[in-house]
Amino acid sequence: MSDTNRVFLLAERPDGRPDEDTFELAERDLPTPGPGEALVRTLYLSVDPYMRGRMDARESYADPWGVGDPMEAAVVGEVVESNGAGLEAGTVVTGELEWADYATAPGTELYPIDPELAPISTALGVLGMPGRTAYFGTKEIAQPTAGDTFVVSGAAGAVGSVAGQIAGLQGADVVGFAGSDEKVQFLEDELGFDAGINYKTTDDYGAALDEAAPGGVDAYFDNVGGPITDAVFTRLNVDARVAVCGQISQYNATELPTGPRKLATLVETRATVEGFLVGDYQPRFEAATRQLGEWVQRGQVQYRETVTEGLENAPDAFLGLFEGENIGKQLVKVAERDVRSRGL
Amino acid sequence: MSDTNRVFLLAERPDGRPDEDTFELAERDLPTPGPGEALVRTLYLSVDPYMRGRMDARESYADPWGVGDPMEAAVVGEVVESNGAGLEAGTVVTGELEWADYATAPGTELYPIDPELAPISTALGVLGMPGRTAYFGTKEIAQPTAGDTFVVSGAAGAVGSVAGQIAGLQGADVVGFAGSDEKVQFLEDELGFDAGINYKTTDDYGAALDEAAPGGVDAYFDNVGGPITDAVFTRLNVDARVAVCGQISQYNATELPTGPRKLATLVETRATVEGFLVGDYQPRFEAATRQLGEWVQRGQVQYRETVTEGLENAPDAFLGLFEGENIGKQLVKVAERDVRSRGL
């Protein structure tokens, strides 16, 4: 094992779209776990759109990252050394760590995962935060039922791909917006969506929706905002529900000269638009993960991962989220699991 | 009584803002009530922002008016002649009639009002559809409670002025946006609002809100949309509720190039934005009107009316709504009550 550690720091706050100046890959000494802590070697690192918000100085539900500080991420890693953390070396855990090869954390904040149950990377995707976000946003906010038409944007992403399948399991007709023919094929052929719309090759989202969902939209799971959401808003049915999960098309905007428009459609439809944060459902995480695990094991929920190799490529993986380069969960593979490290 | 009738017809569908070409004042024969119908002389005519929608061809919750057809309106009038309608001549009634001096309607669609209880014009305002809209939108959708900050746009209008007072009765701090210093004074001095903001003399709505509502916004009753709503959206508190009642700033727009923006704020706040139509609460109208009547009688809810004289001026009264020329309910006074007409 190397005695140095590579850590990505937030070099400067981006003005609009992050770029290479946003990130600094620093060499640091290998950290030493304090009492009750463990040293964890990163195996998989999760990059997620919400991280864009943490790059800004503005206070929000997740604290801003400090300039010059390590950037945080959900990680699946392997315990290398425990200093009374109650975890054996070699245990695979997940937790909020850093964009780094190694990090330390209190044992109480590291959650062992069972590598026999599912591939360990799923703890960052379908069985992790994105899966649970899809679960609660669909079941509690968008609430599709049999016969409903459910539309999801960012449909081929980590959250959208699961949300659409859960809606399908409730008996809804499912339409997804995604950004390539390959993704649309993935939605229709692998995930069982009723229709996919490639928004990058479609001029008129409204017309495409009218074709795919001629009866209008009863439930909408919004990951992207912008013109796709405009089109859906004007096609909401009476008592429709909109779950606002993300607005990735807006995160890099330096200016939003206009605000909510087309809200008049909500009056006509008595529709509800509701934001949600998966963290509010913490007491029900275990039950949700168990349900998702059962669906995955039975093949009722499929998942896809896009894996970028190497910690040094984490910024590219992150930036690719805003270009829609991933299908399913975007991960960074930092290291292979190495059982020999147990003896360290 | 004249044996002719003046009736406003929809001359053409407006493209954007209605103007004089939109309306045609036609001379017609005095209509004759059919079996079960009554002839009603218009005393007060209500002009309301939602009528703009009925001028378009698009189907919505209220049917489009046909080109060349009489325009409809809520009216307070006097029964002139009953053809088995079960109503005595001279009875003051309210109903959905026409922009006209006289109209006929089935007795079952005419509702007697008690002139002793409150001025008869209130059946079109605080004790009519606008009052009930304020009542249900505030109590059921925006749900202000003690200690909440409640913001209302179009605050000096027929609906907003009642909504803000109902919120105050629930113990909320009430902030209203209105379009003149006179209106702001009306809100603060007569209606007991905690603060009014004159949006026509304020450059920065956000800064004005930060001053008037430093703790953020818990409930928002939106009558206008546009930049005021933008400012409120970015100041919503966790679990805030937005009742979308109207979007008058948008009704004449020929193009809305961008749609919902700033919805990311809903994720942070887990806020709910919900459209509503007062008609959905029909079974509870009687109870709502009774409650409003009690409040008015006890002086707990004040109301103001802006009365335009003469049927021929109804289009100006309607167009003035989009300029914010009214304080409180905009009415058109078409005729004096004439008890002598009973004998006709």
How high is the ipTM of this complex? 0.77
Is A274's Cβ below 8 Å from some Cβ in B? yes
pLDDT at res. B286: 83
Beta-bridge partner residues of A265: none
Mark yes or no for CB contact B258/A230 under 8 Å: yes
Residue of B50, B248, B258, B265 to mutate when probing chain A, most A C-beta within 10 A? B258
Strands annotated E in chain A: 4-10, 23-29, 37-46, 72-83, 92-98, 102-106, 111-112, 149-152, 173-178, 195-198, 217-222, 236-244, 272-275, 305-309, 329-333
Q: What is the CATH code of the structural domain delimited by B129-297?
A: 3.40.50.720
Strands annotated E in chain B: 4-10, 23-29, 37-46, 72-83, 92-98, 102-106, 111-112, 149-152, 173-178, 195-198, 217-222, 236-244, 272-275, 305-309, 329-333
Burial class (CB in 10 A: 0-12, 13-18, 19+), A284: middle
Q: Which one of B256, B275, B280 has the shortest CB-CB distance to A261?
A: B256
Q: Which one of B225, B251, B264 has the shortest CB-CB distance to A247?
A: B264
Residue B56 CB neighbour total at 10 angstroms: 14
pLDDT at res. A27: 95
**How far is A223 from chain B, CA to nearest CA, in Å?**
10
**How far is B294 from chain A, CA to nearest CA, in Å?**
28
Distance from C-alpha of B78 to C-alpha of B92, rounded to nearest angstrom: 5
When computed from its CA atoms, the radius of gyration of chain A, rounded to whole angstroms, is 21
Mark yes or no for CB contact B260/A261 under 8 Å: yes
Residue A69 CB neighbour total at 10 angstroms: 12
Contacts of B258 in chain A (CB under 8 A): 227, 230, 258, 261
Mark yes or no for CB contact A225/B263 under 8 Å: yes
Distance from C-alpha of A77 to C-alpha of A311, rounded to nearest angstrom: 13
Distance from C-alpha of B280 to C-alpha of A319, rounded to nearest angstrom: 47
Contacts of B262 in chain A (CB under 8 A): 256, 259-260
Task: Record the tokens describing residue A38, joined without a space.
Answer: 């463990």
Between chain A and chain B, the number of residue pairs with CB atoms below 8 A apart is: 136
Is A267's Cβ below 8 Å from some Cβ in B? yes
| Per-run averaged pLDDT (10 residues), chain A, 344 residues | 86 90 94 96 90 86 90 94 96 95 96 88 90 91 95 93 93 96 93 95 95 95 88 86 84 63 64 74 82 84 84 86 80 78 42
Burial class (CB in 10 A: 0-12, 13-18, 19+), B15: exposed
The helix/strand/coil state of B65 is: coil
The answer to whether A164 touches A176, Cβ cutoff 8 Å, is: yes
**How far is A163 from chain B, CA to nearest CA, in Å?**
17
Using the structure block, give the residue that is written with the tokens 């409670």. Answer: B145
The answer to whether A222 touches A246, Cβ cutoff 8 Å, is: yes
Distance from C-alpha of B202 to C-alpha of B29, rounded to nearest angstrom: 51
Q: How distant, in Å, are the alpha carbons of A12, A74, A98 from that of A67?
A: 6, 19, 14
Q: Which one of B233, B271, B275 has the shortest CB-CB distance to A266?
A: B275
The helix/strand/coil state of B185 is: helix
Choosing among 3.40.190.10, 3.90.180.10, 3.10.520.10, 3.10.290.10, the CATH entry for B4-125+305-343 is 3.90.180.10
Is B279's Cβ below 8 Å from some Cβ in A? no
Task: Record the tokens describing residue B196, joined without a space.
Answer: 């009014």
Distance from C-alpha of B1 to C-alpha of B234, rounded to nearest angstrom: 57
Beta-bridge partner residues of B96: B74
Residue of A236, A251, A261 to mutate when probing chain B, most B C-beta within 10 A? A261
Is B285's Cβ below 8 Å from some Cβ in A? no
Mark yes or no for CB contact B273/A277 under 8 Å: no
Distance from C-alpha of A209 to C-alpha of A195, rounded to nearest angstrom: 10
At A97-138, the pLDDT tens digits run 999 999 999 999 999 998 888 889 999 988 888 998 999 999
Which residue is closest to A281 within chain B, CA to CA?
B270
Beta-bridge partner residues of A309: A333
Q: How distant, in Å, are the alpha carbons of A105, B198, B244 from that of B241?
A: 39, 23, 10
Sorted by where each begins, the domain ranges of chain A are 4-125+304-343, 129-297
| Helix extents (H) in A170-301 | 181-185, 205-212, 227-233, 264-269, 285-297
Mark yes or no for CB contact A259/B259 under 8 Å: no
Task: Record the tokens describing residue B105, joined without a space.
Answer: 């309607």
Residue of A50, A52, A258 to mutate when probing chain B, most B C-beta within 10 A? A258
Is B153's Cβ below 8 Å from some Cβ in A? no
pLDDT at res. B317: 86
pLDDT at res. B85: 96
Is A219's Cβ below 8 Å from some Cβ in B? no
Is B200's Cβ below 8 Å from some Cβ in A? no
Strands A102-106 and A149-152: unpaired
CATH class of A4-125+304-343: alpha beta
pLDDT at res. A343: 39
Mark yes or no for CB contact A251/B259 under 8 Å: no
The single-letter code of the amino acid at B133 is: T
Is A251's Cβ below 8 Å from some Cβ in B? yes
Distance from C-alpha of B5 to C-alpha of A241, rounded to nearest angstrom: 47
The helix/strand/coil state of A98 is: strand
| Per-run averaged pLDDT (10 residues), chain B, 344 residues | 86 91 94 96 90 86 90 94 96 95 96 88 90 91 95 93 93 96 93 95 95 95 88 86 84 63 64 74 82 83 84 86 79 78 42
